[in-house]
């Protein structure tokens, strides 16, 4: 039986897109990424649509607000949180309108507990990461919020199979004690692997659907992510320094969303993207057949900074690259 979470030769998006029109963004995603579409994030809409605000809005009984341009915990829900809730509700309504009859695998992105802890400030100052008890509360609250959020998504697209992506760009810095304090003169103490794994695992377990963890860093903790219960990882292939660790993870059953195109550069051709994935995969020593079962193609990160035309072209190139890889495996 295949370990794939998506159809052979699938491509997907990491999350964010340019613009402010969620209905149009969904039409683009469903049109360009039919095998593994996702719920787009549109940070250009302002606070509450950004990755941290959107993730913090899912926390239960831990209200947040914007203060001096940063998200921090608050005593009660206010205007900023209500706006974040409203944006998310609009997105879910648009999802129903654009994809209510969708029957394939659909991906939803949520900011992970450690990136939230490294970003949201405590009421008296400093990131929540400074208080490991607060970080545990974030994980517990997010687990409950993720469960509710996925139920709301499922209600809009009842025939779809859901896949959750936890965005954890800060995870390696959290583990190594490299998250800077506000002054920049110090860093927060590191979180041990067992604590990080437990918190991440609580959210993975609560999701009740397959989970992949997205981390755009050089030192992605692949083994810890797998031990936390995640089925896969989404990484930037250009930042993979330890092929042995990646090979061991895949050999253990991990699936891969392969970031093979940098949106900050001119869009490569689908052939170039496919070659990038194929080259790394063959260095790992795995077969082309396993590639199309275990790998989905994507850009290396979100596309919020791209123009609408460039973002659409890059999604299409990733889609065509995935199909090239599938055709190669069948040849």
Q: Where are the alpha helices (DSSP H) in 157-230?
A: 171-176, 193-207, 222-227
Residue 268 falls inside a structural domain: no
* pLDDT for res 145: 98
Query: In this structure, are strands 70-73 and 64-67 parallel, antiparallel, or unpaired?
Result: antiparallel
Q: Using DSSP, state whether 9 is helix, strand or coil.
A: coil
97 located within any domain: yes
What is the value of pTM for the model shown? 0.96
Whether 141 is in a domain gets the answer yes
Range of the domain at 143: 22-233
171-195, pLDDT tens digit by residue?
Answer: 999 999 999 998 888 999 999 999 9
Domain annotation covers residue 279: no
Q: Give every CB contact of residue 229 below 8 A, 6+ residues apart in sequence.
A: 201, 204, 205, 211
Sign of CA dihedral 244, 250, 254, 259: positive
Which pLDDT does position 1 carry in this prediction? 36
Q: Is 266 part of any domain?
A: no
Longest dimension (CA), the chain: 62
Q: What is the pLDDT of residues 252-262, one digit of tens each?
A: 999 999 999 99
Q: Are 49 and 83 in contact (CB under 8 A)?
A: no
Q: Is residue 115 part of a domain?
A: yes
What's the rounded Cα separation, in Å, for the pair 55 and 74?
A: 15
Which residues are paired to 129 by β-bridges? none
Instruction: Count how many domains the chain has.
Output: 1
Phi and psi torsions of 162, nearest 5° = -90, 145
Say if 273 falls within a structural domain.
no
- Structure-block tokens of residue 153: 């998504």
Q: Is it the case that residue 109 has pLDDT exceeding 80?
A: yes
CA 117 to CA 68: how far, in whole Å?
18
Identify which of 299, 274, 311 has the alpha carbon closest to the alpha carbon of residue 9: 274
pLDDT (0 to 100) of residue 183: 81
Q: How far apart are CA 236 and CA 101, in angstroms?
A: 32
Residue 113 within a domain: yes
Q: pLDDT of 234-281, one tens digit each?
A: 999 999 989 999 999 999 999 999 999 999 888 899 999 999 999 999
In sequence order, the 6+-apart residues with CB closer than 8 A to the CB of 244 are: none
């Amino acid at each position: 039986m295949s370990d794939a979470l998506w159809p052979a030769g699938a491509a997907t998006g990491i999350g964010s897109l340019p613009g402010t029109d969620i209905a149009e963004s969904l039409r683009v995603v469903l049109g360009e990424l039919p095998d593994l579409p996702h719920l787009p994030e549109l940070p250009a809409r302002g606070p509450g649509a950004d990755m941290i605000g959107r993730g913090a809005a899912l926390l239960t009984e831990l209200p947040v607000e914007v203060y001096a341009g940063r998200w921090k915990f608050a005593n009660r829900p206010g205007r900023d949180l209500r706006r974040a809730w409203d944006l998310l509700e609009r997105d879910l309504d648009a999802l129903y309108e654009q994809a209510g009859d969708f029957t394939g695998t659909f991906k939803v992105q949520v900011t992970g507990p450690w990136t939230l802890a490294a970003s949201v400030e405590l009421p008296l100052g400093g990131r929540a990461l400074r208080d490991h008890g607060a970080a545990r509360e974030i994980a517990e609250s997010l687990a409950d919020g993720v469960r509710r959020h996925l139920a709301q998504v499922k209600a809009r697209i009842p025939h779809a199979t859901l896949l959750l992506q936890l965005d954890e760009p800060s995870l390696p810095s959290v583990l190594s004690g490299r998250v800077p304090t506000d002054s920049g003169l110090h860093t927060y103490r590191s979180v041990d692997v067992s604590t990080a794994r437990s918190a991440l695992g609580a959210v993975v377990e609560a999701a009740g659907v397959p989970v992949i963890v997205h981390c755009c860093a050089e030192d992605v903790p692949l083994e810890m992510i797998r031990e936390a219960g995640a089925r896969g990882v989404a990484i930037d292939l250009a930042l993979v320094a330890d092929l042995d660790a990646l090979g061991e993870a895949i050999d253990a059953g991990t699936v891969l969303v392969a970031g093979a195109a940098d949106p900050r550069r001119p869009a490569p051709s689908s052939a170039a993207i496919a070659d990038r994935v194929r080259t790394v995969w063959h260095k790992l020593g795995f077969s082309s057949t396993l590639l199309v079962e275990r790998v989905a193609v994507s850009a290396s990160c979100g596309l919020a900074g791209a123009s609408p035309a460039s973002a659409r072209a890059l999604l299409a190139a990733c889609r065509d690259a995935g199909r090239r890889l599938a055709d190669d495996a069948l040849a």
